């Protein structure tokens, strides 16, 4: 589900113009979240410049835009590596060994939680429950969802992201 | 009728209200943190939880409505325990640095913890650190102290309408931030600071300079900046103003009575309710703007004039008061005796009090024998006010500002009220938030968030738009017969053939005009807000006529904006060349006789010169002596006669006397400079734009040799042989109320008590105006005048480099006092820039490039940086009215503007400048 919605918005490689989004939402305010995704795509991360662009497009005050952008952890508030790993370490995932996975990622790719690897390949963000408790541990890589992670398969999965 | 029982007390209410309000009526105080009376309901902190019988859980008193039969308990063991728990949570990350915090002593968190505890917390984790952010020039942000109550954000969004700050991040990281995370870059009203319950938002100019309980005095007075006249409290220590807070805030704090177990009974019912905010509404309802709140440092400025000065051998040198006053008296006598009173003139001040201005005109008329009295109010307010009163009756602009908030359609013409009169601007934003439709003609960027219907007419064609709107409205509305004389004129106007090519000229389509006239016609409560831009036209009075008509037909109220604190008062005091105090026409002998009888002096019968003819007469040598009180015309006025260069004496004047608190561009040319007192050092009254008289109170001791403006003049008068025996402003007011019929029965002690008086007016012309109406011939005449635009825009096209000069006004600038206040200078954009439409750029003019601006009539030139801005109309350039870096006013370029034949206001569309690349 998630994947589908985001894919639609993000595949559009044209210039930043959330105008097209407007039709799908009842108010401009409601368009804010998808518009931020689109801005993130276009500006790579939500810099002040990107937030201002969203504010202008949607006519939502820029301070408010920033308030919303900083509230949600899935927006990039800093420049990130080529691929963003969002790994959950909340209760269910933790019970199934997510914290070991953090160590493994660090050892293999040289990226610490909250940081970006020196080669700029991966950034790792620790998440609080991404709604996949039943198939824990789970992570998002960019917009792809991966669940039932193990110490073995995680490397295989991540190796695909060059 | 709803009956509730709170702590055993029965309370009857007409309407459902929150438990908090109901309890207050019974004299019961409930602790709150996130609640604030001026803000929208929130219910976030849970400190106000109370027990309600038959409800399983505690409920927040601030956001829970009472219902019939409800039984509430506000204090109990259980409630205290819960409140203690709430506070323990809040304190997890609070630094508890009270010994160092400015707010200690008036902090709501401190007070609550003092009563409910806990004395220590159980959380062992490290506190989250957020170093205090001092990157903003004016507001310090200490987010460790923030309790995330969102009061500041609700203030900034819902009341101020600036949307400059928001809560960012989440959970225990939540904090308040402006967009940049650093500088606020906002309207700097400081109203967020007023409502912050803790020490999270602080004013940097006053930070760490005092503790609340160390204040020597808390003086209620009136703001010295604009015509709204907000009530302020000056917090004073060691004869220096430390902080300015709104009056309501002070009231709120003084009513901050003890709450908590066992003390509820002590709060007497009366006390609590009377002090509560709903009950203490002033004009500004606790709101201030940047000028009012942060604009006081000039009082302590080291640059203040400290001693009288007289020009000797071409240079101004300090002397004694006696020498200076004797010199002025001698010179004035000389000129009067050799050339007569008509060779003398005076410029009064809308920053001086009613009493100062009354004495000023009395001196000019009775002692110097001249009616050549005018002021900078001539730039717009004075002429417009007189013209509107002529048409529609005295007091037509005397409408309470707070009424604006209840209007459902507001037509804003000729300026941005959020800049000229910031707090009045908030009333318009508030009306819009309640659903009112705002229509603007002329740019009012500050109302952008109110989603106005903007009429974008071509440059200087507003009158044509207004004409058309009036005609359309005339066909839709019946006349009431209330003002028969005015109705005659409206009829004549409507009968005139429609102006041709309106759409072509104005760029506003007929459909748009129809739509707007429909909105106005269907208004239930209509208001017209008139700014000075529409008055400053060669045919400014035509626009005013249309606005008067539109307002009349739609039963509207008129608000005339004034960016000075006492323009209305100055007019009422008779600082006009053709009117005596109280708006009484000089031409009517009866009035003059009465004036002479009461004041004991004779007034010359003939009208004097208005401001611009006065300046011309100075240039031509007809006026030989000029007395300027509290004004800086060399900077604030176009057409000021040049000396050799601007900084030297004006050759044609034998005597220029300047009375002021700072050395100014004008005082630099003077023969005598007399130091006066600043607003915080004197007493008197101001009359605001809604005609409300309010008292100015002395807050600090004067540290210079300055004297009250009226005293200086009275001294000179005695030296010229006419004693003026007044001992105080109250004494002067006692004479004013006898002279001026509109001030009749006004007693100083009444004004002083704070019983604020709106003058009793009925919308009928007083006798003095009957027959004095300027346009007897009907609208056809008006149209003829209107058709003569100040130089058509076409001639410009041939001379590429010639532009109309538009002044860019700043929310943080208001003449010399604002310049001498570092707090305001720090937030003013200081760039010396010229804005122009990109398509207007002639070859050689590039963005960021430097240009020289000059005008054919002046030797002055300005060098500025170019910024392309497509919001600037084609054919115009925009320059800040005051250029901080260069220390000059843009108007100093302009030397020969014509004036409107009726209002005598300058025709700013004739401000032509040449722009060349350097
Ligand atoms: S100073 Fe005024 S405009 Fe600025 S953040 Fe505070 S409330 Fe908003
Ligand atoms: S800064 Fe003050 S008013 Fe704003 S949320 Fe924090 S504590 Fe509340
Ligand atoms: S709105 Fe006017 S009167 Fe009120 S604080 Fe601002 S400048 Fe002063
Ligand atoms: S705890 Fe990891 S997905 Fe819910
Ligand atoms: S004051 Fe009632 S919830 Fe905060």
CATH code for the domain in which residue B725 is found: 3.40.50.740
**What kind and span of H or E run contains B878?**
strand B876-880
Residue B220 domain boundaries: 124-300
- A62 and chain B: CB distance < 8 Å anywhere? yes
Cβ contact A48–B167 (<8 Å): no
What pLDDT, on the 0 to 100 scale, is given for residue A44?
84
Average pLDDT over every residue of B450-473: 92
For B813, phi and psi rounded to 5 degrees? -125, 135
| Higher-scoring residue by pLDDT: B164, B691 | B164
Give A29's contacts in chain B (Cβ within 8 Å). none
Peptide bond into B118 cis (omega under 30): yes
Whether B687 is in the pocket of ligand 3, judged by its Cβ within 6 Å, is no
Instruction: Among B280, B300, B320, give the residue marking a domain's end.
Output: B300
pLDDT digits (tens, 9 = 90+) for B32-62: 999 998 899 999 999 999 999 999 999 999 9
DSSP B413-479: ESS-HHHHSHHHHHHHHHHHHTT-EEEEES--GGGGGG--EEE-PPTT-HHHHHHHHHHHHHHH---
| B636 token code pair | 């604030």
Does residue B796 surpass a pLDDT of 70?
no
Domain ranges of chain A: 2-71, 83-159
Cβ proximity of B352 and B630 under 8 Å: yes
Give B180's contacts in chain A (Cβ within 8 Å). 48
Distance in Å, CA A3 to ligand 4 centroid: 17
Give A70's contacts in chain B (Cβ within 8 Å). 168-170
Does residue B729 surpass a pLDDT of 60?
yes
B135 and B251 in a single domain? The answer is yes
What pLDDT, on the 0 to 100 scale, is given for residue B911?
86
Whether B493 is in the pocket of ligand 2, judged by its Cβ within 6 Å, is no
Does residue B265 surpass a pLDDT of 60?
no
Distance in Å, CA B156 to ligand 5 centroid: 19
CA B868 and chain centroid, separation: 30
Give B170's contacts in chain A (Cβ within 8 Å). 70-71
Which three-class secondary structure state does DSSP give residue B332?
helix
Name A127's bridge partners: A88
Give B167's contacts in chain A (Cβ within 8 Å). 67
Does residue B225 surpass a pLDDT of 50?
yes
B805 and B860 in a single domain? The answer is yes
- A64 and chain B: CB distance < 8 Å anywhere? yes
Residue nearest to atom 4 of ligand 2 (CA): B152
CA distances B229 to B221, B225, B561, B566, B742, Å, are 9, 8, 12, 8, 20
Does residue B750 surpass a pLDDT of 80?
no
Question: What does the angle CA B738 – CA B740 – CA B741 come to, to the nearest 5 degrees?
Answer: 95
Residues in contact with B694: Cβ distance below 8 Å, sequence separation at least 6, in sequence order: B222, B229, B231, B685, B686, B687, B688, B751, B756
CA distances B734 to B576, B682, B709, Å, are 21, 18, 18
Average pLDDT over every residue of B173-191: 95
pLDDT above 70 covers a percentage of chain B that reads 90
Does residue A13 surpass a pLDDT of 50?
no
Distance in Å, CA B406 to ligand 3 centroid: 21
Q: In what order do the strands lie in the sheet with B240-246?
A: B217-222, B231-237, B240-246
What pLDDT, on the 0 to 100 scale, is given for residue B282?
63
CA-closest candidate to residue A45, choices A158, A53, A19, A3: A53
* Separation between Cα atoms, residue A82 and residue A42, nearest integer Å: 14
CATH number at residue B209: 3.30.70.20
Average pLDDT over every residue of B353-363: 97
**What kind and span of H or E run contains B245?**
strand B240-246
What DSSP state is assigned to residue B205? Answer: G
Instruction: Among B75, B93, B109, give the residue marking a domain's end.
Output: B75
Average pLDDT over every residue of B906-914: 87
Give A63's contacts in chain B (Cβ within 8 Å). 163-166, 177-179
Q: Of chain A residues 30-49, which have a CB less than 8 A from chain B?
A: 48
Does residue A88 surpass a pLDDT of 70?
yes
Pairs across A and B, CB distance < 8 A: 34
Q: In what order do the strands lie in the sheet with B453-455?
A: B453-455, B437-441, B409-413, B526-530, B557-560
DSSP chain A: -HHHHHHHHHH--SSS-THHHHTTSSSTGGGHHHHHHHHHHHHSS--HHHHHHHHHHHT--HHHHHHHHHH-TTS--S---SEEEEEE-SHHHHHTTHHHHHHHHHHHH---BTSB-TTSSEEEEEES--S-GGG-S-EEETTEEE-S--TTHHHHHHHT--
* Separation between Cα atoms, residue B44 and residue B436, nearest integer Å: 30
What pLDDT, on the 0 to 100 scale, is given for residue B157?
95
Q: Does the residue B786 lie in any domain?
A: no
| B576 token code pair | 């006009």
Cβ proximity of B188 and B139 under 8 Å: yes
Does residue A16 surpass a pLDDT of 60?
no
Across B148-152, B157-161, B426-430, B893-897, least confident range: B893-897
Q: Does the residue B98 lie in any domain?
A: no
pLDDT band at B801 (very low <50, low <70, confident <90, very high): low
| Higher-scoring residue by pLDDT: B902, A16 | B902
Rg of chain A in Å (alpha carbons): 17
Whether B155 is in the pocket of ligand 1, judged by its Cβ within 6 Å, is yes
Counting atoms of ligand 5 from 1, which one is nearest the CA of B46?
Answer: 3
Cβ contact A70–B178 (<8 Å): no
* Separation between Cα atoms, residue B700 and residue B696, nearest integer Å: 12
B858 φψ region: left (φ > 0), alpha (ψ -120 to 50), beta (else): beta
* Separation between Cα atoms, residue B536 and residue B550, nearest integer Å: 19
| Higher-scoring residue by pLDDT: B768, B382 | B382
Average pLDDT over every residue of B594-598: 92
Nearest CB to A66; choose among B157, B170, B179? B179
Give B192's contacts in chain A (Cβ within 8 Å). none
B288 and B318 in a single domain? The answer is no
Average pLDDT over every residue of B600-625: 93
| Higher-scoring residue by pLDDT: B685, A18 | B685
- A160 and chain B: CB distance < 8 Å anywhere? no
Distance in Å, CA A100 to ligand 4 centroid: 15
CATH number at residue B895: 2.40.40.20
pLDDT digits (tens, 9 = 90+) for B624-642: 999 999 999 988 888 888 6
Mean pLDDT of chain B: 87
Q: Does the residue B462 lie in any domain?
A: yes
- A51 and chain B: CB distance < 8 Å anywhere? yes
Whether B162 is in the pocket of ligand 1, judged by its Cβ within 6 Å, is yes
| B711 token code pair | 């005293």
Residue nearest to atom 6 of ligand 3 (CA): B289
B551 and B596 in a single domain? The answer is no
CA-closest candidate to residue A31, choices A18, A44, A41: A18
pTM: 0.89
B219 and B146 in a single domain? The answer is yes
Distance in Å, CA B202 to ligand 2 centroid: 11
* Separation between Cα atoms, residue B378 and residue B613, nearest integer Å: 11
The ligand minimizing its distance to the Cα of B401 is 3
CA-closest candidate to residue B26, choices B46, B4, B41: B4
Q: Does the residue B264 lie in any domain?
A: yes
What pLDDT, on the 0 to 100 scale, is given for residue B883?
82
Average pLDDT over every residue of A5-22: 52
Cβ proximity of B676 and B706 under 8 Å: yes
Q: Does the residue B568 lie in any domain?
A: no
Whether B223 is in the pocket of ligand 3, judged by its Cβ within 6 Å, is yes
What pLDDT, on the 0 to 100 scale, is given for residue B541?
92
Distance in Å, CA B129 to ligand 4 centroid: 28
pLDDT digits (tens, 9 = 90+) for B847-877: 888 999 988 777 778 889 999 998 888 889 9
Give A47's contacts in chain B (Cβ within 8 Å). none
Cβ proximity of B351 and B738 under 8 Å: no
Bridge-based pairing of strands A83-88 and A139-141 is antiparallel
B734 and B855 in a single domain? The answer is no
Which three-class secondary structure state does DSSP give residue B530?
strand
pLDDT band at B761 (very low <50, low <70, confident <90, very high): very low
Instruction: Among B534, B560, B586, give the residue marking a domain's end.
Output: B560
What pLDDT, on the 0 to 100 scale, is given for residue B135?
96
Please state which of the four CATH numbers 3.20.20.370, 3.30.110.40, 3.40.50.880, 3.40.30.10 is assigned to the domain occupying A83-159.
3.40.30.10
B899 and B817 in a single domain? The answer is yes
Distance in Å, CA B563 to ligand 3 centroid: 9
CA-closest candidate to residue A71, choices B173, B172, B166, B170: B170
Whether A88 is in the pocket of ligand 4, judged by its Cβ within 6 Å, is yes
CATH number at residue B487: 3.40.228.10
pLDDT above 90 covers a percentage of chain A that reads 58
Cβ proximity of B903 and B535 under 8 Å: yes
Across A1-15, B153-167, B710-724, least confident range: A1-15
What pLDDT, on the 0 to 100 scale, is given for residue B769?
38
**What kind and span of H or E run contains B854?**
strand B850-854
Quickly count: other Cβ atoms within 10 Å of residue B445's Cβ: 11
Q: Does the residue B828 lie in any domain?
A: yes
What pLDDT, on the 0 to 100 scale, is given for residue B647?
65
Across A27-36, A47-56, B150-159, B425-434, least confident range: A27-36
CA distances A34 to A9, B69, B179, Å, are 8, 48, 20
CA-closest candidate to residue B819, choices B347, B139, B303, B377: B303
Best probe of the B interface among A46, A63, A77, by most B CBs < 10 A, is A63
- Shortest distance between the Cα of A66 and any Cα of chain B, in A, equals 7
pLDDT above 90 covers a percentage of chain B that reads 62
B704 and B653 in a single domain? The answer is yes
What pLDDT, on the 0 to 100 scale, is given for residue B353?
96
- A136 and chain B: CB distance < 8 Å anywhere? no
Cβ contact A51–B178 (<8 Å): no
Name B294's bridge partners: none
Whether B305 is in the pocket of ligand 3, judged by its Cβ within 6 Å, is no
Average pLDDT over every residue of B588-606: 91
What pLDDT, on the 0 to 100 scale, is given for residue B645?
59
B499 and B350 in a single domain? The answer is no
What pLDDT, on the 0 to 100 scale, is given for residue B799?
40
* Separation between Cα atoms, residue B870 and residue B882, nearest integer Å: 22
The ligand minimizing its distance to the Cα of B196 is 2
Ligand 5 pocket residues where CB is under 6 Å: B 32-35, 43-48, 60, 62
- B168 and chain A: CB distance < 8 Å anywhere? yes
* Separation between Cα atoms, residue B645 and residue B859, nearest integer Å: 8
Cβ proximity of B408 and B436 under 8 Å: yes
What pLDDT, on the 0 to 100 scale, is given for residue B745?
77
- A66 and chain B: CB distance < 8 Å anywhere? yes
Cβ contact A62–B179 (<8 Å): yes
Among chain A residues, CA nearest to B176: A67
Whether B184 is in the pocket of ligand 1, judged by its Cβ within 6 Å, is yes
Residue whose token pair is 């912050």: B196
B192 and B129 in a single domain? The answer is yes
- A70 and chain B: CB distance < 8 Å anywhere? yes
pLDDT band at B283 (very low <50, low <70, confident <90, very high): confident
Counting atoms of ligand 5 from 1, which one is nearest the CA of B20?
Answer: 2
Number of domains making up chain B: 5
The ligand minimizing its distance to the Cα of B162 is 1
Does residue B760 surpass a pLDDT of 60?
no
Whether B33 is in the pocket of ligand 2, judged by its Cβ within 6 Å, is no
* Separation between Cα atoms, residue B629 and residue B360, nearest integer Å: 8
Quickly count: other Cβ atoms within 10 Å of residue A157's Cβ: 14
pLDDT digits (tens, 9 = 90+) for B93-147: 999 999 999 999 889 999 999 999 888 889 888 899 999 999 999 999 999 999 9
| A1 token code pair | 């589900």
pLDDT band at B497 (very low <50, low <70, confident <90, very high): confident
What pLDDT, on the 0 to 100 scale, is given for residue B646?
63
| B577 token code pair | 């060349």
- B433 and chain A: CB distance < 8 Å anywhere? no
């Amino acid at each position: 589900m998630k994947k589908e919605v985001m894919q639609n918005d993000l595949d559009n490689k044209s210039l930043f113009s959330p105008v097209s989004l407007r039709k799908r939402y009842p108010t401009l305010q409601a368009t804010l979240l998808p518009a931020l995704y689109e801005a993130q795509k276009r500006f790579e991360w939500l810099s002040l410049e990107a937030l201002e662009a969203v504010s202008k497009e949607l006519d939502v005050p820029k301070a408010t835009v920033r308030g919303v952008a900083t509230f949600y952890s899935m927006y990039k508030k800093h420049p990130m590596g080529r691929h963003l790993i969002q790994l959950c370490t909340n209760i269910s995932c933790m019970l199934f060994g997510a914290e070991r996975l953090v160590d493994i990622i660090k050892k293999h790719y040289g990226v610490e939680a909250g940081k970006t690897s020196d080669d700029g390949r991966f950034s790792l963000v620790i998440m609080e429950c991404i709604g996949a408790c039943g198939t824990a541990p789970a992570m998002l890589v960019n917009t792809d969802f991966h669940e039932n992670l193990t110490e073995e398969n995680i490397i295989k999965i991540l190796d695909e992201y060059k | 009728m709803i009956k509730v029982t709170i702590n055993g007390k029965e309370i009857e209410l007409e309407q459902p209200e929150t438990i908090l309000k109901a309890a207050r009526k019974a004299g019961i105080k409930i602790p709150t943190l996130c609640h604030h009376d001026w803000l929208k309901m929130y219910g976030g902190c849970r400190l106000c939880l109370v027990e309600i019988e038959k409800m399983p859980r505690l409920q927040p008193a601030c956001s829970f409505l009472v219902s019939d039969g409800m039984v509430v308990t506000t204090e109990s063991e259980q409630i205290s325990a819960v409140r203690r728990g709430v506070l323990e949570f809040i304190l997890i990350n609070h630094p508890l640095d009270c010994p160092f915090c400015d707010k200690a002593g008036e902090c709501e968190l401190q007070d609550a913890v003092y009563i409910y505890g806990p004395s220590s917390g159980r959380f062992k984790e490290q506190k989250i650190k957020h170093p205090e952010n001092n990157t903003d020039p004016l507001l310090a942000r200490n987010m460790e102290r923030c309790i995330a109550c969102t009061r500041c954000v609700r203030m900034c969004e819902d009341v101020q309408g600036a949307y400059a700050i928001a809560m960012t991040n989440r959970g225990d990281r939540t904090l308040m931030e402006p967009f940049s995370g650093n500088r606020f870059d906002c309207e700097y009203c400081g109203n967020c600071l007023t409502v912050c319950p803790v020490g999270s938002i602080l004013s940097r100019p006053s930070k760490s300079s005092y503790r609340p309980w160390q204040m020597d005095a808390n003086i209620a007075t009136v703001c010295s900046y604009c015509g709204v006249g907000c009530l302020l409290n000056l917090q004073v220590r060691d004869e220096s103003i430390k902080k300015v807070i709104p009056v309501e805030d002070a009231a709120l704090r003084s009513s901050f009575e003890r709450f908590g177990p066992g003390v509820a009974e002590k709060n007497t019912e009366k006390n609590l309710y009377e002090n509560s905010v709903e009950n203490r509404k002033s004009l500004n309802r606790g709101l201030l703007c940047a000028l009012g709140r942060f604009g006081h440092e000039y009082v302590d400025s080291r640059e203040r004039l400290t001693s009288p000065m007289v020009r000797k051998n071409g240079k101004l040198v300090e002397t004694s008061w006696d020498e200076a006053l004797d010199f002025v008296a001698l010179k004035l006598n000389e000129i009067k005796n050799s050339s007569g009173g008509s060779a003398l003139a005076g410029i009064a001040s809308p920053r001086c009090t009613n009493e100062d201005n009354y004495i000023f005109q009395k001196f000019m008329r009775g002692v110097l024998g001249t009616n050549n009295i005018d002021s900078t109010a001539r730039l717009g307010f004075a002429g417009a006010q007189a013209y509107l009163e002529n048409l529609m009756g005295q007091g037509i602009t005397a409408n309470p500002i707070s009424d604006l908030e209840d209007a459902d359609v507001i037509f804003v013409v000729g300026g941005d009220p959020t800049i000229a009169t910031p707090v009045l601007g908030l009333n318009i934003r508030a009306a819009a938030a309640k659903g009112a439709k705002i229509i603007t003609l002329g740019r009012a960027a500050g109302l952008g968030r109110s989603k106005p219907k903007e009429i974008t007419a071509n440059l200087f064609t507003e009158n044509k738009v207004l004409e058309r709107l009036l005609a359309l409205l005339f066909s839709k509305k019946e006349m009431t017969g209330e003002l028969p004389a005015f109705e005659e004129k409206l009829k004549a106007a409507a009968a005139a053939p429609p102006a041709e090519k309106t759409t072509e000229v104005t760029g506003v389509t007929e459909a748009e005009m129809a739509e707007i006239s429909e909105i106005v016609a269907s208004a239930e409560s209509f208001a017209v807000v008139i700014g000075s831009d529409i008055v400053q036209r060669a045919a400014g009075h035509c626009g005013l006529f249309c606005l008067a008509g539109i307002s009349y037909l739609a039963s509207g109220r008129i608000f005339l904006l004034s960016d000075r604190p006492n323009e209305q008062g100055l007019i009422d005091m008779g600082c006009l060349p053709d009117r005596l105090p109280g708006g009484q026409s000089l031409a009517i002998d009866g009035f003059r006789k009465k004036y002479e009888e009461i004041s004991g002096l004779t007034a010359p019968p003939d009208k004097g010169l208005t401001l611009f003819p006065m300046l011309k007469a100075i240039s031509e040598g007809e006026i030989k002596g000029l007395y300027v009180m509290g004004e800086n015309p060399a900077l604030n006025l176009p057409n000021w006669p040049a000396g050799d260069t601007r900084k030297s004496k004006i050759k044609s004047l034998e005597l220029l006397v300047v009375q002021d608190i700072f050395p100014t561009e004008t005082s630099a040319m003077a023969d005598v400079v007399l130091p006066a007192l600043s607003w915080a050092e004197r007493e008197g009254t101001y009359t605001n734009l809604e005609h409300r008289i309010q008292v100015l109170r002395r807050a600090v001791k004067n540290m210079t040799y300055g004297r009250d403006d009226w005293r200086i003049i009275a001294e000179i008068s005695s030296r010229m042989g006419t004693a003026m025996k007044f001992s105080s402003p109250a004494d002067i007011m006692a004479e004013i109320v006898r002279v001026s019929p509109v001030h009749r029965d006004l007693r100083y002690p009444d004004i002083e008590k704070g019983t604020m008086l709106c003058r009793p007016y009925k919308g009928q012309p007083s006798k003095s105006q009957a027959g004095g109406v300027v346009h007897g011939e009907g609208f056809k005449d008006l149209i003829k005048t209107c058709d003569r635009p100040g130089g058509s825009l076409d001639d410009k096209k041939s001379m590429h480099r010639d532009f109309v000069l538009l002044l860019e006004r700043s929310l943080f600038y208001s003449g010399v006092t604002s310049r001498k206040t570092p707090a305001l200078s720090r937030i003013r954009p200081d760039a010396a820039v010229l804005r122009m439409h990109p398509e207007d750029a002639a070859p050689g003019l590039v963005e960021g490039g430097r240009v020289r601006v000059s005008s054919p009539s002046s030797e002055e030139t300005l060098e500025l940086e170019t910024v392309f801005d497509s919001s600037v109309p084609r054919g115009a350039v925009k320059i800040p009215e005051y250029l901080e870096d260069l220390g000059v006013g843009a108007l100093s370029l302009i030397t020969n503007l014509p004036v409107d034949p009726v209002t005598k206001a300058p025709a700013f569309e004739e401000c032509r400048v040449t722009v060349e690349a350097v």
